[in-house]
Copies of this chain bind each other. A is one copy, B any other.
Amino acid sequence: MTDPAGPRATPTPPTSAAVARRAGVSRATVSYVLNGQAAGRVGERAQARVRAAAEELGYVPHAAARSLRAGRGSIVLLAAPADTVPVLGPLFTRFLAGFQTALHALGYTGVLHGAPTASPLAAARAWAELRPAAVLTLHGPPLDAPAVALLRRAGTAAVLTHGPVAPPGAHTLLLDQREAGLRAGAHLLAGGRRRIGVVLPAEPGLAACAGPRLAGVRAAAAAHPDAEVRPLDLALTEESAARLAAAWPGLGLDAVFAYNDEYAMLLMRALQDAGHTLGVRAPGDVAVVGADDLLLGRLLRPRLTSVRAEITPPERIAGLVDELVRGPGTPPAVHRLGTFRVEARDSG
């Protein structure tokens, strides 16, 4: 009579005590053997018996109990507000993949926690419950001072947050979005453009990147007395793009930094579609620069000029985290997460 539910969840999962009983040794011995501390302490025969018993029972150590006893957990929390994860794109997910693998190699469990969070403090509280060894934020609203203080009080050895400046006690992971705008602006200005539009996405959650990018373009323009920068609202829909395209002649712009390759393509396409009636040619009359260097930018015609982030290898960041966790006294510093450069192609 087989159980229709298959192998059922045991009322009590096997513990190290169960392994000890089965192997005929004490729980201490089991612990030594299974953690590689058995050299010179436990006999060969006993070791073999313990390993066999663990195998047969399907024993898996209880991470919670272990970290409770050890006083420190091995979870590294990658925090990203749930509602912004989708828009981060392949750049973020690729980093994430490499980072988790690297952390695993160092003995940590990297975990992505999408915070459904009103305030940074509420998010920090939720994270602190897990007593993570480290917390990193890469996107969304950066941690503020109270949030950092809470995490540190909860024993988080390393707190790293993105953004231009970190609150006291937190390290900074710098992927300066201003730089993206700066590079795009400088590129366009070097190409002789002077009246630059900057797309501000209407989508929520992108404002955190969009603001600094705009500021970067402004900074680049400051060097040219005759340059002008104008923000443009755009949602990721064809209707919104058509509206913006229709208004284009009145704006008198000769270039646009479109926040992102997708927005860039959307806008460029709308300008092309409406171009005949408006007398605007893209990219002839208006240079278009995107960002993130997505595949689509290379496939569409004209090929899209794009600002690309060159991210620090995930292994390096993982190594940094490990260092900080092991030396919790390390004074906060700024760590570059990457830099930006322009991949010049046909659109501008």
Contacts and interface: CB of A to CB of B under 8 A. Distances in A.
Interface string A52-88: 0000011011111101100001000000001101101
16 contacts: A7-B148, A10-B155, A60-B154, A63-B130, A64-B73, A86-B97, A109-B113, A111-B111, A112-B114, A236-B295, A238-B298, A262-B295, A262-B296, A266-B299, A269-B299, A296-B300
A116 B130 contact: no
Contacts of A82: 96-98, 100-101
Contacts of A100: 82, 113-114, 116
A281 interface: no
- Which 10 A-B residue pairs are closest in the complex by CB-CB distance? A6-B169, A6-B168, A64-B64, A82-B97, A112-B112, A100-B114, A101-B116, A63-B129, A60-B128, A86-B93
Contact of A131 (B62, B68, B265): B62
A105 B113 CA distance: 14
Interface residues of A, number: 79
A329 interface: yes
The interface centre, meaning the residue of A7, A73, A154 with most chain B CB atoms within 10 A of its CB, is: A7
Interface of A: 4-10, 13-14, 57-58, 60-65, 67-68, 73, 82-83, 85-86, 88-90, 93-94, 96-98, 100-101, 104-105, 109-114, 116, 125-126, 128-131, 148-150, 152-157, 167-170, 236, 238, 262, 265-266, 269, 295-296, 298-301, 328-332
Contacts of A101: 82-83, 114, 116
A10 B328 CA distance: 11
Contact of A169 (B8, B238, B296, B300): B8
Given A10-B153, A169-B7, A300-B299, A109 B126 contact: yes
Contact of A97 (B64, B83, B148, B153): B83
Given A10-B152, A266-B295, A269-B301, 5 more contacts: A6-B169, A9-B328, A58-B150, A58-B154, A96-B114
Contacts of A236: 295
Contacts of A104: 116, 126
A90 B307 CA distance: 21
B129 A170 contact: no
A63 B42 CA distance: 34
Contact of A153 (B13, B83, B86): B13
Which of A82, A94, A111, A301 is most buried by chain B, counting CB atoms within 10 A of its CB? A82
A227 to B, nearest CB: 29
